[in-house]
Structure 1
Amino acid sequence: MDTSELLKKVRQIEIRTGRLVADNFAGQYLSVFKGQGIEFAEVREYVAGDDVRSIDWNVSARSGKTYIKQFLEERELTLMIACDVSASGAFGSTQKLKREVAAELAALFAFSALTNNDKVGLMLFSDMVELFIPPKKGKKHILRLVRELLVFEPKNKKTDISLALNTLNKVIKRQGILVLISDFMDEGFEKAFRLSQKKFDLIPVLVRDPLESSVPKLPLYINAVDPESGESAVFNLKDAPKYGDITKREKFFHSLGADYIKTFTTGSAADEVVKFFKKRAEKIKR
């Protein structure tokens, strides 16, 4: 992708995502991701019915009138986006690759955080940490993250979700939100996932292509190359589920009470994020 193409693509995502955030996501993001406490905002004159415990006695004594303290939720959060850039993300049987869908999802969360003045960071990982950008604020920073999501070329092809999670547990000091975007075709990440849940509001985002989840009625043999191992072999597509059982992943997330997002290269990533926000909001109300 040359520079002009890249700028055009980034601009398209910025416009499309910005519009969605303005219309739908910014307020929903604010309502479902809570801050870590409260901070003093201002004082105002006391009116009947106010909580007397909030009276600011020093200001009241100086002014001769009764004033109370008002507080706001301490809203600033850190949103960390960890995105799997292993070779399997370059697959797509329709108009989009899984990697492109992952970039759109990441942009939706990043621009929602920007609108609410939260910091956003990015980790791109394969079976190593390919890129780490510390959390910062600002539109320029967000656009850099989007650019990296679109054009970054990983050194390695395989996936190690445990490594990514364990690294973030060490380098991110404050509690915050962690959006983990992957096709979750890795194995053995369950322990690291549980540990990360204790520190982060961990949201797994499962991105798949329909061909990875549908099983043909008749055997269908194809010559194919595993994108992560590079090995060539003859595959029977009836065996497709063993290459990443989506139901198994969903059951695991559900068992831990994790609110997850599942989307396909054929669907609308934005619609799935809307569903997630609604589900999370309903859970908070209970």
Structure 2
Amino acid sequence: MNKQPSQSNAGIKVSLDELLALSAQVRGSSLAEVRRSAAARTGLHASRWRGRGVDFRESRIYQAGDDIRHMDWRVTARSGRPHTKLFEEEREHGLLLMVDFNAGMRFGTRTRFKSVQAARTASLLAWMASASGDRVGAIGFGGGIRNEVKPNGGRRGVLQVLRALRDWDHAAGTENESLASALERARRLLRPGTRLILISDGFSADDEAWPVLARCASRNELGCVLISDPLEHAPPPPGRYALSSQGSRRTLDFADKNLRSRWPKPFDAMRERVRSEFTRLGARVVEVSTDADARRAILPFTQRVLGPRDSSA
């Protein structure tokens, strides 16, 4: 049995009780469609894709290769030109959360570690997706974690994800995994209509990740939550600070003006790179600091983006 973190570990280790309590924060909130979509019904969402489905959408001129079984004989007779029917294909929506457990996520100077804020953010998104009637799953990567929870519906699906987040956080070690490797695993779980949201500080992103991400974007909606710590945005007060990482130790003198001016630049560049790659593929990107209100930060995921037909209405 996994024990909950003690009070002294608050903000350092993921607490299942805290993740469960976050359900109260999302009452009345649900994840919105990124792309234009017709009304949802009983957990099913009308997709932007056109194909054989249950809802007739429109008729158009017959084209070579169209299924003869979908001929619209009434319009054909009325117009004198062959027409075929198009249908709105329905797809069951789901949410797949990719949560980074690489060693760099176990760091924080304000309120909590990045790893804890990542788990809290994932939990909020899972509760919101469940409120939308969506199935929820998760993939953990980094820290030796190569596990997954296949998307499942209802409260049961959310609870499976929350328990996994707690267990993965407690078991994570120092072994790193690249984003490209994790995305290849995610692709095997993705189904049409499933949304993929990465929750990471971005340091796992490698050049090989972007072609894989583009292949995911060709069939699925994407989102990204960049977790950061205030120390990555601005240097600490002037002074000498001892830092240790994976057995090595060094001292930095933050009284040095050159160091202070250079300090945020590599962090800013890394976040901008990840942001630009996701944005280029039409994905929403939000940033959540370790001391931020995660629910407020992810509100863009609850706001629907209108497509051409919606905006002209």
Match of 1:204 in 2: 224
Matches within 5 A, 1:163-202: 163-186=181-204, 187-188=206-207, 189-202=209-222
Q: Give structure 1 stretches of 5+ with no counterpart.
A: 41-52, 54-70
* Matched letter for residue 139 of structure 1: R
Distance in 1 (alpha carbons) for counterparts of 2:15 and 2:276:
36
Matches within 5 A, 1:140-151: 140-151=156-167
Deviates more, 1:165-174 or 1:196-205: 165-174
Give the number of aligned pairs.
250
* Matched letter for residue 232 of structure 1: R
Residues 109-142 of structure 1 show CA distances to partners (whole Å, capped at 9, x for unaligned) of 1112222322111100017652111111131331
User: 1:175: Cα distance to partner?
Assistant: 4.0
Residue 20 in structure 1 maps to residue 43 in structure 2:
no
Match of 1:241 in 2: 265
Matches within 5 A, 1:44-83: 74=90, 76-83=92-99
Distance in 2 (alpha carbons) for counterparts of 1:4 and 1:211:
25
Distance in 1 (alpha carbons) for counterparts of 2:216 and 2:115:
24
Distance in 2 (alpha carbons) for counterparts of 1:174 and 1:192:
16
Matches within 5 A, 1:144-159: 144-152=160-168, 153-159=171-177
Distance change >3 Å, CA 10–CA 249, structure 1 → 2: same
Distance in 2 (alpha carbons) for counterparts of 1:73 and 1:175:
10
Distance change >3 Å, CA 99–CA 258, structure 1 → 2: same
Match of 2:82 in 1: none
Match of 2:77 in 1: none
SS of residue paired to 2:202: coil
Distance in 1 (alpha carbons) for counterparts of 2:233 and 2:20:
31
Match of 1:225 in 2: 244
Distance change >3 Å, CA 13–CA 171, structure 1 → 2: closer
Distance in 1 (alpha carbons) for counterparts of 2:273 and 2:247:
25
Q: TM-score, normalised by structure 2?
A: 0.67
Match of 2:67 in 1: none
SS of residue paired to 1:200: coil
Distance change >3 Å, CA 260–CA 139, structure 1 → 2: same
Indicate if the aligned counterparts of 1:207 and 1:263 stay in contact, CA closer than 8 A.
yes
- Aligned equivalent of 2:105, options 75, 85, 89: 89
SS of residue paired to 2:218: helix
Indicate if the aligned counterparts of 2:229 and 2:289 stay in contact, CA closer than 8 A.
yes
User: 1:108: Cα distance to partner?
Assistant: 1.4
User: 1:224: Cα distance to partner?
Assistant: 1.7
Residues 193-219 of structure 1 show CA distances to partners (whole Å, capped at 9, x for unaligned) of 22222122110110000101224696x
Question: Cα RMSD over matched residues?
Answer: 3.4
Deviates more, 1:151-160 or 1:102-111: 151-160
Match of 1:101 in 2: 117
User: 1:81: Cα distance to partner?
Assistant: 0.6
Q: Give structure 2 stretches of 5+ with no counterpart.
A: 38-44, 48-52, 56-71, 73-86, 255-259
Match of 1:10 in 2: 16
Indicate if the aligned counterparts of 2:151 and 2:157 stay in contact, CA closer than 8 A.
no
Residues 93-116 of structure 1 show CA distances to partners (whole Å, capped at 9, x for unaligned) of 011111111111111111122223
* Matched letter for residue 160 of structure 1: S
Distance in 2 (alpha carbons) for counterparts of 1:91 and 1:114:
30
Q: TM-score, normalised by structure 1?
A: 0.73
Residue 160 in structure 1 maps to residue 178 in structure 2:
yes
Distance change >3 Å, CA 3–CA 101, structure 1 → 2: closer
Distance in 2 (alpha carbons) for counterparts of 1:21 and 1:75:
25
